[in-house]
């Protein structure tokens, strides 16, 4: 039996959330400011570059604001911490995807300083989202077993189907 995982207290979650939010605020703001300054100084960028930047900046800002509001702490009237909000240090769940989007958008905006073609890397995010949607929802729904066919498999067909499902889940 695995040992029980220790849980963090509300004060530790609050302190961790503050550090995490500070880091991701920097990841959101610094590349965007550098991009705007470089475009203004070098007079570069047509409407497509500005549109690509706006898309990346909106995704990074939206992700940061999602983290900010989900980790918003609640205090009592005396200033005592009642609830630290969602733990942003979790290794599972939606917060990891949001963190990835914020970091990836910051990297894309920073690379967009050097060439507008780097802003096309932002198209990876919808592709990955579609991939996860496909493997976890659409593929099993489309190719799932029919209710009427549940007992009609021989042993070899059942084994083959389980092997195919293992390959699909990889």
SS3 call for 43:
coil
pLDDT given at position 5: 47
Measure the CA–CA gap between 32 and 48, rounded to whole angstroms: 16
Neighbouring residues of 24: CB distance < 8 A, sequence distance ≥ 6: 63, 64, 67, 99, 102, 103
Residues of the chain with pLDDT under 50: 1-6, 147-148
Q: pLDDT value at position 152?
A: 55
Residue 15 · residue 73 · CB < 8 Å = no
pTM for this predicted structure: 0.70
DSSP type of residue 74: E
Q: What is the pLDDT of residue 29?
A: 93
Per-residue pLDDT at 6:
44
Q: Is 27 left (phi over 0), alpha (psi -120 to 50) or beta?
A: alpha
């Amino acid at each position: 039996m695995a040992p029980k995982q220790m849980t963090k207290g509300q004060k530790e979650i609050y302190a961790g959330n503050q550090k995490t939010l500070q880091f991701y605020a920097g990841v959101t703001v610094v590349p965007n400011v550098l991009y705007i300054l470089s475009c203004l100084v070098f007079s570069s960028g047509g409407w497509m570059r500005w549109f690509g930047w706006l898309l990346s900046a909106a995704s990074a800002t939206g992700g940061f604001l999602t983290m900010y509001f989900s980790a918003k702490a609640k205090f009592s009237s005396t200033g005592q911490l009642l609830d630290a909000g969602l733990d942003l240090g979790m290794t599972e769940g939606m917060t990891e995807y949001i963190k990835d989007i914020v970091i990836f958008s910051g990297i894309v905006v920073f690379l967009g300083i050097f060439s507008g073609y780097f802003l096309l890397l932002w198209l990876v995010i919808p592709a990955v989202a579609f991939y996860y949607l496909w493997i976890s929802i659409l593929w099993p729904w489309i190719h799932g077993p029919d209710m009427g066919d549940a007992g009609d498999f021989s042993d070899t067909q059942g084994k083959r189907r389980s092997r195919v499902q293992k390959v699909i889940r990889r």
